[in-house]
Amino acid sequence: MMEYIDIQESAKFLFKHRQNKLSINDLPNILTPKNDKDAYIIQEELKLLYLSLKDNISIGKKVGCTSLDGQKQLDITEPFYGNLFSRFYEIEPKNISSKKFSKPFIEPEIALRVKEDINISHAPFSIKDINNLFDGFVCSLEIVDFRFNKNLKEIGAYNLIATNGASEFWIRNSEVFSMNKINFDDHEVIISFNNQIVGEGNVNKVMKNPLNSALWLINKISLKGEALLKGQFISTGTCTKAHELAPNTKVNANFGELGQIEFNYN
């Protein structure tokens, strides 16, 4: 396990690059996580630094790498998670500035809203607990940003976890839908750039059902004594492949009967 002072320095290094919108070639070896335990401890230190920013609170969690293909690419056997923050979040924005990001990708997702503060003494939870855990869901878009100047496999899962699961910005629609609004086993999602379809997917790309992703997250953090609170969200994972964003792009995510999220990436 890393020394705690190195964990703190690693978080500070990542925070500085995030705030200054800088890319990273490599973390210094002594600051590089060698296992998922170190990676999540760095993430927790990074979370504290984020929460030190003015007018910033935790609004939930994101789950990444929810497909088997994605896990194989990173040589891992389960998803990972990161944190969502109010300072890096908007409801139905009209415009997003490319100056906020380094090498961003967009991912359309379903996010579930926590019904009441979760009593983790009742964990592990199962599918029968869903209506007690969540009171609705939203359509969302996550902008992930792989700030390392290398391909995903070279970055590796531990670095991605440490950098808040690569989560940079979260967008959602304004309406919160009831849990029975759609079939979570089968609902199509389409993403377009400048009115051209670039990705077609389905909510079942997310661990066969996004409810499985949310349950995995709650049970995973419960083991660490962490609970989600009433009104927080779990963004469950991308329904399509991640698509790289370039300036001067009109992004449209079509969630069928649930509506669309559209903004200009300038």
Instruction: Read off the pTM.
Output: 0.96
pLDDT digit string (tens) for 202-256? Answer: 999 999 999 999 999 999 999 999 999 999 999 999 999 999 999 999 999 999 9
pLDDT at 202: 97
Identify the burial level of 208 via C-beta atoms within 10 angstroms of its C-beta, where 0-12 means exposed, 13-18 middle and 19 or more buried.
middle
Specify the residue for token string 């049970």. 219
The string of pLDDT tens digits covering residues 70-79 is 888 888 999 9
Within a domain: 98: no
Decide if 94 contacts 176 (C-beta within 8 A): no
CA atoms within 13 A on the CB side of 181: 17
The answer to whether position 263 is within a domain reads no
Structural domain includes residue 54: yes
DSSP 76-135: -SS-EEEEEEGGGEEES-SEE-GGG-SSEEEEEEEEEEE-S---GGGPSP-GGGHHHHEE
Does the pLDDT of residue 109 top 90, yes or no?
yes
Domain count, the chain: 1
Span 160-189, average pLDDT: 97
Copy the structure tokens of residue 87.
């300072």
User: Cβ contacts of residue 167 below 8 Å, gap of 6+?
Assistant: 62, 64, 82, 83, 84, 88, 142, 144
Q: Which residues of 84-108 are buried (b: 16+ CB within 10 A; e: fewer)?
A: bbeebbeeeeeebeeeebbebbbbb
**Residue range 35-53, pLDDT digits in tens:** 999 999 999 999 999 999 9
**pLDDT, position 1:** 86
Q: Is residue 184 part of a domain?
A: no
Average pLDDT, the chain: 95
What is the pLDDT confidence band of residue 170, given thresholds at 50, 70 and 90? very high
Domain-located, residue 186: no
Q: Are 124 and 222 in contact (CB under 8 A)?
A: yes
- pLDDT bin (cut points 50, 70, 90) of residue 183 is very high
Helix, strand, coil percentages in the chain from 3-state DSSP, rounded to 5: 35, 30, 35
pLDDT bucket at 115, cuts 50 / 70 / 90:
very high
- In a domain? residue 251: no
Q: What is the pLDDT of residue 22?
A: 83
Range of the domain at 216: 4-92+104-179+203-239
Task: Name the percent of the chain lying above pLDDT 90.
Answer: 88
Residues 6+ apart with CB under 8 A from 94: 263, 264
- One DSSP character per residue, 38-69 reads HHHHHHHHHHHHHHTSTT--EEEEEEE--SHH
What's the rounded Cα separation, in Å, for the pair 254 and 192? 8
In a domain, 133, yes or no: yes
Beta-ladder partners of 252: 192, 262
- The reported pLDDT for the residue numbered 251 is 98
Q: Looking at the domain assignment, is residue 246 inside a domain? A: no
pLDDT at 141 over 90: yes
CATH number of the domain enclosing 139: 3.90.850.10
Predicted confidence at residue 116, as pLDDT, reads 98
Phi-psi region of 192 (alpha: psi -120 to 50; beta: other; left: phi over 0): beta
Per-residue pLDDT, averaged over 8-29, amounts to 91
Q: Is the pLDDT of residue 199 over 90?
A: yes
Instruction: Round to whole Å and give the CA distance between 107 and 100.
Output: 17
pLDDT of residue 84: 98
What's the rounded Cα separation, in Å, for the pair 194 and 180? Answer: 32
In whole angstroms, give the CA distance from residue 80 to residue 161: 7
